[in-house]
Amino acid sequence: MQSTVVMINLFGAVALLLFGLAQIKDGVSRAFGAKLRTGLARGTKGGIRSFFSGFVATIALQSSTATALMVASFVERELMQPKMAQIVLLGANVGTAVTAWIVATGIEWLSPLIILVGIGLYRRASSSRQGLGLALIGVGLMLLSLQLLSLATEPMRQSPALAAFVGLLDGALPVALIFSATLAFVSSSSLAVVVLILSLASAGILSPGLTVVLVLGANLGGAIPPVLATLQGPATARRVTLGNLIVRAIGCLIAMPLAGPLGDLLQLLPTPPSKLPVDAHLLFNIALALLAWPFSPMLSRLMTRLVRDDPAKDDGPKFLDDDALGTPTMALANATREVLAVGDLIERMLIRTENAFNRDDMAPLSEIAPLERRVDQLQQEVKLYLSKLGRTGLDEETGRRSIVIIDYAINLEHIGDIIEKGLCEQVRKKIANGLAFSGDGYKELQTLFDLTIDNLRVAQTILVTRDFGLARQLMEVKVNVRRMEKESSERHLERLRDGRVDSLQTSSLHLDMLRDLKRINAHIISVAHPILDESGLLIESRLRNA
């Protein structure tokens, strides 16, 4: 029963420590977040400034993990050079160590006063004062947790089980390193683990060598959470956090064989022997910073080789700038450029499909589905962008132009569906079953393919220039396409009546491809409708007056 109470007290004190650290981070972020981020981003033009930027940021946030993630985001956005980012993290490591050293100076008695002041500020209306108050409450809770840790570890001095466990760790220092690193990783705080080690060392149950190894493990484990947090991020961010982990791992590998002599040497310092964990923590990070600093450019180059660049991604919108929504003319120009990019994707889909058809090769078809998904995404983005523009209130001409762009984007999306679900499936059947069209049938389809691609290029030009002559020419092509589809169907039926085996085998494919190419052209030619409609050249019905 006694041991259960001790463990509850111990874990409760650790939980309070972690909670206090979280409040400090949240409070400082609320009060000084923007200034802190700006200062960190701007304070990296030189090595010394970079080091102290990381040092100050970590002292304020009480989290080297938070600093590492912030730095990784800056490198990702090219606000910070990778080699400077590594120096910033060296400063962050020292900042954590200094915090632990200050906490261990015996100022726990200030915790009630700090909490009282923090609550007073937290009750103010100002957001910045509330943030500062929350940070002070976190500091007070962290100091209070130290008192609870000291009380919780007091009974452990006479615990045979703990003595046996510590003895096992003392005889297997690599296991002790892994154990401490695991604690730091699980808690996402090397500071919390160092403070726990400080409490155990104060109870007199840790040897100097084991204390140093446990501190090394806390440093190593504290570098793992940022690596995991950036695993799904861009390569630039992953290089920063992985580089920091490698630096700490190398430092631990160098220092661990010397743990015993280092522990004995540190006991000669004028500080009390009970402060050995924070002394070791601080000196390790200072030594690591001094040793690794000159190699930061080399480390950044090594990370570039180890972590390859992300594959280029061009599936998102490139021209839809929300800042331009206040100027309708610019916003329409941006939307037009984006829709033209969608048209280029449709052209690629048509060319890939025709290549597969001509060469009896499935490979070009593998690109169709990803291209069609991009078409769907981009046309949706264009519609959302122009819907935002419509909320600002548009004049008649701008509103009409916006509708034209949306209609064209929708037509392009329909074309993508027809290519993926219609033409591609028909070409796959042709290739998979080894079918061959008749010479005339093949030539008719190839001609219609080429005409469709040419019409799409003309439509792209019409969307930009709104040229009346081109619009009329494209509308006349619609009649030609309809005639070509009808004549090709009739000739195909004639070949069937003649008993042509090749035509019999490809009959349904031929007719389906003709129908789909005709539908695609209808969607393409629709770009000419608004221009001709404004000129009064379109009529609502194709029926001839009796």
Residue 182, class by beta-carbon neighbours within 10 Å (0-12 exposed, 13-18 middle, 19+ buried)?
A: middle
pLDDT value at residue 77: 56
Q: Print pLDDT tens along the chain (546 aa).
A: 466 776 777 778 777 777 877 777 677 666 665 565 666 555 566 678 778 777 777 776 656 666 776 777 667 655 577 778 888 888 888 887 887 787 777 676 778 888 888 888 888 766 667 777 887 888 788 778 777 766 766 665 556 666 677 777 777 888 888 888 888 888 777 777 887 788 777 767 788 888 888 889 888 988 888 888 778 777 877 888 888 889 889 999 998 888 888 888 888 877 777 788 888 888 988 998 898 888 888 888 888 888 887 665 555 677 888 877 778 888 888 888 899 989 999 999 998 898 888 888 888 888 898 889 888 888 888 888 888 876 666 777 778 888 888 898 999 999 999 999 988 988 888 888 887 777 777 888 888 888 888 888 888 888 888 877 778 888 877 777 777 777 777 776 776 666 655 555 666 777 788 888 888 988 888 888 787 776 655 555 444 544
pTM above 0.85, yes or no: no
pLDDT value at residue 1: 46
pLDDT value at residue 464: 84
- List CB contacts of 449: < 8 A, sequence separation 6 or more: 350, 353, 354, 357, 517
Q: At what angle do helices 160-171 and 173-187 cross, to 10 degrees?
A: 110
What residue segments make up the domains of the chain, in order of their start? 8-306, 322-534
Give dist(CA 32, CA 54) in Å, integer. Answer: 15
Alpha-carbon dihedral sign for residues 499, 503, 508, 510: negative
Give dist(CA 277, CA 262) in Å, integer. Answer: 12
| C-alpha closest to that of 94 among 54, 142, 47 | 54
pLDDT value at residue 162: 63
pLDDT value at residue 346: 92
Return the CATH fold of 322-534.
Methane Monooxygenase Hydroxylase; Chain G, domain 1 (1.20.58)
Other residues' Cβ atoms within 10 Å of the Cβ of residue 313: 7
Is there a contact between 139 and 26 (Cβ–Cβ < 8 Å)?
A: no
Give dist(CA 489, CA 497) in Å, integer. Answer: 12
